[in-house]
Amino acid sequence: MKIATWNVNSLRARADRVEDWLRRTDADVLAIQETKCKDENFPWELFENNGYEVAHFGFSQWNGVAIASRVGLDDVERTFSEQPTFGKGGKDPVQEARAIGATCNGVRIWSLYVPNGRALEDEHMPYKLEWLRQLKENAARWIADDPQAQIALMGDWNIAPLDEDVWDIDYFREKELTHVSRPERAAFEAFLEAGFSDVVRPHTPGPGVYTYWDYTKLRFPKKEGMRIDFTLASPALAQRVGDAWIDREERKGKGASDHAPVVVELD
């Protein structure tokens, strides 16, 4: 079974590319982030015409997550337990469309769009850290309750856990940028301490291996990217991983997302 995650940065704008990619890669399950759709303008037919069931969670032109599967789509959950809300500048907090889960052929898939901290002192940063803490509490409980549970936490984590995961760590530290701060990295590490594994890195080792390149300043042709899209697998699922790769080619050409798809092949 082949499962994948992809921040498409507006599904309607990239519908043709997503459809072509699904046909070309023969993926069984695709976890999608940043659909930027409401349910009423989600391109359901794109997936249905290609044999996929799809579950979507979106409120507006921001955020939005989905799971498309051709191997079953059961027990759909929109948000995880105690998922934090956010209200900017003291406004009434709202639930953002950042997490959706479903069981696909026995594997519990979560499509996750972790909040971007924006700046180290921005009000989004404590929101991001609490969001990750609550997700980790849920994830740790899932595998404590069932050590054989097959769970994939897939998506855009907006964290670069290692120095080699950004094109120039000195640049990031000098400018005090997010994604590489100690609290963010500790929040990511907490999932590994809870028993989950980054199952893609062993198959895509080394510095200079990225999943995201900003549209500005010619970051992609300059190879100035970040590794911020991950699949963290529960112990039982990690044992099934036979291969994994980052589809950098999909970042090329007109109309590409700023993220590349990340694929995991299960035995």
Residue 113 falls in the annotated catalytic set:
yes
On whether 156 is known to bind a ligand per the annotation, the reply is yes
Residue 156 falls in the annotated catalytic set:
yes
On whether 56 is known to bind a ligand per the annotation, the reply is no
Give the active site residue among 113, 127, 210, 212: 113
On whether 165 is known to bind a ligand per the annotation, the reply is no
According to DSSP, the residues that pair with 231 across neighbouring strands are: 154
Give the active site residue among 52, 56, 156, 210: 156
On whether 138 is known to bind a ligand per the annotation, the reply is no
Q: Which residues are tagged catalytic?
A: 113, 156, 259
Q: Which residues are annotated as a binding site for Mg(2+)?
A: 7, 34, 156, 158, 258-259
